Amino acid sequence: MNFKIGEVAQQTGLTIRTLRHYDALGLLRPSARTPSAYRLYSPADLTRLLHIQSLKTLGLTLPEIARALDDPAYAVHNILQQHIEVLEARIAQEQQLVRRLRGLQVRPETGWTEIAETIALTQRVARQVRHFMQTAQDIAGQLTLSDEQLQSLQNRSWDFDNDDWETLLTHVFTALEEALSPTSPEAQSLALRWQSLVGRTTADRPEIAQAIGRAYEQHLPAELHSAWTFISEALSSGSDGAAMTNPSAVTNLLHPDKNVRIQAALDLGAAQHRAALPNLIERLGREPDFFVRENLTWAIVRMGTDAVTPLLGLLEHSDAAVRLQAVHALSKMADPESAAALGQAVRNPEHEVARKAIFALGQLNHSEALNTLVAEVGHPDAERRTTLSTALVKFGQAALPPLQELLQHPEAQQRAHAADILGLIGEPAAAPALIEALLDNNWEVRFAALSALGHLTGEEARQGIEQATHLADARLRAVARRLAANRPERPTSLQEKLRQRRQKGERNPT
């Protein structure tokens, strides 16, 4: 029996993008394809996938796993050596705890509370390190890289020394626990080690390193993002106010080699060389290479609010790719001054530009941005509606009044979309308006309102779902019954308990 990629993803918990990434690397190629070219995985493929995941737990990289599975010359002792290194890193963490405890042991004033806190800190750091490494692997597996970049990584030598990621991350999270300043010499040392490991991990390809950095910026959970911010601030503080690392960087923005242009953008951004801002903006307006544009964007964002006005000027550029990159940069800056111009970009005929502008407005806690987004609710384009929903959820309670007002809009699509978003926001205060929408003359609106009530907590939402179990429409009744059955059981009040006891003839307690 063969399985489609979606079925494999569902059964294993991996993402479809990760499986496609394994295919592109040649690590897990599906044995067959359907006439429509859909991937089909055999039981043997699934067995190989199990081996891949097992080897990942030993700390092996994807190129190493490929060698272990496919290269007959790759001896078993190599895998054992990798496992030994993982265990040695864990032992190093335990030894660090021992050193801390011994330090406390020689201090006569040390109490049990301080000892417990030290142990808890070490265990907390170890959990954070494991979480970061697993999350980083997942993010890397979902990156969209070119064939040439993937080949570059495959050909990379992965024989690292003992200064590995696990050890470095342990030091970084410990520094965070101890509230170490990013400008301190210790933080500078950690940042340089981080930069060195990034170079070795990415085969010294700055565009790959930047792609990973952007993915971290967007997808790392809050409890891990602090480590990334700490390192970023340490790296930038080392060059704030200093001269450019490469004095010819401005000239190199025009170099025919894209890798030289990438490095020039990195140098200018790292040094926050604001005098070069016009050059960066001008180059962004005519740079043909995607990866160079991304690095130019990073450098421009590093210039702070000085970059807002020139970026707004690029929103009028004739090239849609340039407009998209300008909106992308503005979304990272989240400056309220850009709200009006981004509002105009929301109505851009290029769908990608419009969706990115919607996303950017969602980053602003600004009434003008909220009004612009609400006006777009119910847009005919499904992808724009999805982006709008995500953006409006960020406004939370502030978005409730205008969305509830949209439930009375003359167009059914606006009413249905508003109901969907109210459900995603999940505020119980929206329940009365959604209950009223259960009587709408349009079936999609009634279904959206009922589904939204299923996302809400509280007694009003529960009562609304209960009312829906008596609607005339059989499909809505069935949905309502399912929602009612899946809700957590309502806690029984004291009055309800007394009523139940009276019905059973029990004596009232005094």
Tens digits of residue pLDDT in 429-466: 999 999 999 999 999 999 999 999 999 988 999 999 99
- Assess whether pLDDT exceeds 60 at residue 79: no
CA distance 362 to 373: 8
Region for 181 from its dihedrals, namely left if φ exceeds 0, alpha if ψ lies in -120 to 50, beta otherwise: beta
Q: What is the mean pLDDT of residues 344-362?
A: 86
Q: pLDDT value at position 160?
A: 36
CA distance 130 to 187: 21
The pTM of the whole model exceeds 0.75:
no
Q: pLDDT value at position 72?
A: 67
Provide the residue type at 208 as one letter: I
DSSP string, 255-312: -SSHHHHHHHHHHHHHTT-GGGHHHHHHHHTT---HHHHHHHHHHHHTTGGGGHHHHH
Q: pLDDT value at position 163?
A: 43
**Which of 156-170, 219-233, 399-413 comes out lowest in average pLDDT?**
156-170
Q: What is the mean pLDDT of residues 180-191?
A: 78
DSSP string, 455-493: H--SHHHHHHHHHHTT-S-HHHHHHHHHHHHHSPPPPPP
Q: pLDDT value at position 60?
A: 66
Structure tokens at 253: 């923005």
Percent of the chain with pLDDT over 70: 76
Please write the tens of the pLDDT for every residue from 234-251: 776 654 433 334 446 777
Q: pLDDT value at position 490?
A: 53
Q: pLDDT value at position 436?
A: 93
214-229 burial, b for 16+ CB within 10 Å, e for fewer? Answer: bbbeeebeeebeebbe
Contacts of 8 (CB under 8 A, 6+ apart): 14, 19, 41, 46, 49
CA distance 340 to 371: 11
Percent of the chain with pLDDT over 90: 15
Residue 152's nearest CA partner among 197, 210, 195, 201 is 201
500 and 475 Cβ atoms separated by less than 8 Å: no
- Assess whether pLDDT exceeds 70 at residue 469: yes
267-291 burial, b for 16+ CB within 10 Å, e for fewer? Answer: bbbbbbbeebbebbbebbbebeeeb
Q: pLDDT value at position 510?
A: 38
Q: pLDDT value at position 491?
A: 47
- Assess whether pLDDT exceeds 90 at residue 365: no
**Which of 41-45, 127-131, 236-240 comes out lowest in average pLDDT?**
236-240
The confidence band for 83, taking pLDDT boundaries of 50, 70 and 90, is low
Q: What is the mean pLDDT of the chain?
A: 78
Region for 113 from its dihedrals, namely left if φ exceeds 0, alpha if ψ lies in -120 to 50, beta otherwise: alpha
Q: What is the CATH number of domain 395-510?
A: 1.25.10.10
Structure tokens at 415: 């009413």
CA distance 145 to 341: 32
The confidence band for 402, taking pLDDT boundaries of 50, 70 and 90, is very high
Proportion of the chain in helix, strand, coil states, percent, rounded to 5: 70, 0, 30
The confidence band for 410, taking pLDDT boundaries of 50, 70 and 90, is very high
5 and 41 Cβ atoms separated by less than 8 Å: yes
Residue 41 DSSP symbol: E
- Assess whether pLDDT exceeds 50 at residue 159: no
**Which of 351-365, 411-425, 490-504 comes out lowest in average pLDDT?**
490-504
Q: What is the mean pLDDT of residues 350-372?
A: 86
36 versus 72: the higher-pLDDT residue is: 36
Q: Residue 443, Cα to own-chain centre: how many angstroms?
A: 35
Q: pLDDT value at position 158?
A: 37
CA distance 271 to 256: 23
Which residue in the block uniquely carries the two structure tokens 């490991």?
Answer: 197
The confidence band for 151, taking pLDDT boundaries of 50, 70 and 90, is low
Q: What is the mean pLDDT of residues 123-133?
A: 77
Please write the tens of the pLDDT for every residue from 9-27: 888 878 787 888 888 778 8
The confidence band for 109, taking pLDDT boundaries of 50, 70 and 90, is low
- Assess whether pLDDT exceeds 50 at residue 122: yes
Q: pLDDT value at position 421?
A: 93
8 and 20 Cβ atoms separated by less than 8 Å: no
Residue extents of the structural domains in the chain: 395-510
Provide the residue type at 468 as one letter: A
Q: What is the mean pLDDT of residues 94-109?
A: 56
CA distance 282 to 293: 11
Q: pLDDT value at position 77?
A: 61
**Which of 43-52, 94-103, 228-237, 450-459 comes out lowest in average pLDDT?**
94-103
45-69 burial, b for 16+ CB within 10 Å, e for fewer? Answer: bbebbeebeebbebbbbbbbbbbbe
